[in-house]
């Protein structure tokens, strides 16, 4: 199987690191001027950023509640608090949705940078397989200092993408522009390169690894089986066709040249 996935996992527990990183919150304020806040606040800002998409649309309380697996009432209460910050972290209109303010967006991008750098560090340096790094990074992302973040980036050679192919925000918060398209949106016979895969489901990542599907691999879409069935997909130059469900095909982002 691919070297990308099958790395030997070291006997490493992230919890002691989380306790250590927690101390960094007492360090002097970061040079970026980012707002410091609780884990819950960071999770909200990150969820709103990811749900709002490239167009930065308003996000509903229901979407946030589904993403964070909490009640809509809890979301409403938190959004009101975030809007009351000075400066406000969100622009919130009841029954109309929420958008990140400039300050909230800056903090969200910082947390996403932490997360994706940590995923890359865990994968490349500590040998974690790509289906385990997301949850570990979720625990650690709130607690690292800007100095530690810089050390990780330098150690890794300032990577641009994490193990799942997601772009790592630059220090200034910028992200590369791209035309998002999923494998399911290709036309039969069309070939594209895997740009990224969703990191939310470890079981799905393990399955994709067994099929040899990872960022950089070329896929050719075949026919979809009747009644919205699975897609026939050729992986690389293999003559054998693999079957991918609709949900899997929608979880794979591709780049078409």
Q: How confident is the model at residue 55 (pLDDT cuts 50, 70, 90)?
A: confident
Which domains are assigned to the chain?
Answer: 1-177 (1.10.10.10), 183-255 (2.30.30.90)
Task: Please return the burial class of 161, using the count of CB atoms within 10 Å of its CB with bins 0-12, 13-18 and 19+.
Answer: middle
Are the C-beta atoms of 77 and 39 separated by less than 8 Å?
no
pLDDT of residue 178: 77
pLDDT of residue 8: 33
pLDDT of residue 49: 96
Q: Give percent of the chain above pLDDT 70.
A: 86
pLDDT of residue 28: 37
CA distance 47 to 114: 15
Higher pLDDT, 145 or 23: 145
- Global pTM? 0.81
Q: Give percent of the chain above pLDDT 90.
A: 74
Helical (H) or strand (E) element with 104 = helix 102-124
Give the lowest-confidence range in 3-7, 12-16, 18-22, 121-125.
3-7
Taking CB atoms within 8 Å and a gap of at least 24, the contacts of 172-181 are: 173/105, 173/106, 173/109, 173/110, 173/113, 175/109, 177/54, 178/255, 179/255, 179/256, 180/54, 180/253, 181/253, 181/254, 181/255, 181/256
**DSSP, residue by residue, 185-213:** GSPTT-EEEEEEE--S-HHHHHHHHHTT-
Are the C-beta atoms of 116 and 176 separated by less than 8 Å?
no
CA distance 29 to 4: 37
Tens digit of each residue's pLDDT (9 = 90 or more) over 134-192: 999 999 999 999 999 999 999 999 999 999 999 999 999 999 887 779 999 999 999 99
């Amino acid at each position: 199987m691919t070297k990308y996935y099958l790395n030997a996992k070291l006997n490493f527990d992230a919890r002691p690191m989380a306790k250590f990183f927690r101390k960094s919150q007492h360090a002097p304020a970061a040079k970026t001027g980012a707002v410091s806040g609780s884990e819950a606040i960071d999770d909200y800002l990150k969820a709103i950023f990811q749900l709002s998409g490239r167009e930065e649309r308003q996000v509903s309380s229901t979407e946030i509640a589904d993403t964070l697996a909490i009640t809509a009432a809890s979301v409403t209460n938190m959004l009101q608090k975030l809007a009351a910050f000075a400066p406000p972290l969100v622009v919130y209109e009841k029954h109309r949705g929420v958008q990140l303010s400039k300050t909230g967006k800056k903090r969200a991008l910082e947390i996403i940078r932490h997360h994706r750098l940590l995923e890359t560090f865990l994968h490349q340096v500590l040998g974690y397989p790509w289906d385990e790094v997301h949850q570990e990074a979720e625990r650690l992302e709130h607690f690292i200092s800007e100095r530690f973040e810089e050390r990780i980036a330098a150690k890794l050679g300032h990577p641009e993408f994490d193990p799942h192919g997601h772009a790592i925000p630059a220090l200034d918060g910028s992200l590369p522009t791209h035309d998002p398209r999923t494998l399911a949106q290709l036309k039969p016979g069309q070939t594209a390169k895997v740009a990224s895969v969703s990191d939310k489901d470890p079981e799905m990542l393990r399955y994709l690894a067994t099929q040899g599907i990872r960022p950089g691999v070329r896929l050719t879409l075949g026919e979809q089986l009747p009644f919205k069935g699975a897609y026939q997909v050729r992986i690389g130059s293999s003559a054998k066709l693999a079957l991918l469900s609709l949900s899997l095909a929608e979880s794979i982002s591709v780049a078409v040249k």
